[in-house]
């Protein structure tokens, strides 16, 4: 599991992106084990509030830069492009 720093503002907090560089099955299993709700899933990542960052890192998620996270998603083939996200 990889996680970037909580820097994306929303709902009076900041959010991180939690991803797997192996499979969505691995990502969903990790989220389930750590009580991350499925509604937090957004096509190729989970949005995780800043308050959960330290717990998820303690559980084994590796903190990386946003750039490293995107590169890992691209390499794995799991990245959902902006074109697909926007329905183009």
Asked whether 8 and 14 are in contact (CB, 8 A), the reply is: yes
The first and second tokens of residue 23, run together, are 């499979």
DSSP 10: E
Counting other chains too, the contacts that 10-14 makes at CB distance below 8 Å and 24 or more residues apart are: 10/47, 11/49, 13/49, 13/50, 13/51, 14/49, 14/50
Nearest to 60 by CA among 10, 14, 22, 13: 22
The model's pTM is 0.90
Task: Tell me the pLDDT of the chain (88 aa) as tens digits.
Answer: 999 999 999 999 999 999 999 999 999 999 999 999 999 999 999 999 999 999 999 999 999 999 999 999 999 988 887 777 776 5
């Amino acid at each position: 599991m990889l996680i970037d720093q909580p820097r994306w503002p929303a709902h009076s907090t900041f959010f991180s992106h939690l991803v797997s560089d192996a499979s969505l099955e691995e990502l969903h299993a990790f989220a389930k084990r750590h009580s991350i709700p499925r509604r937090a899933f957004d096509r190729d990542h989970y949005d995780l509030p800043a308050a959960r960052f330290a717990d998820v890192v303690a559980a084994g998620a590796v903190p990386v830069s946003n750039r490293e996270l995107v590169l890992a998603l691209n390499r794995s083939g799991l990245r959902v492009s902006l074109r697909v996200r926007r329905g183009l």
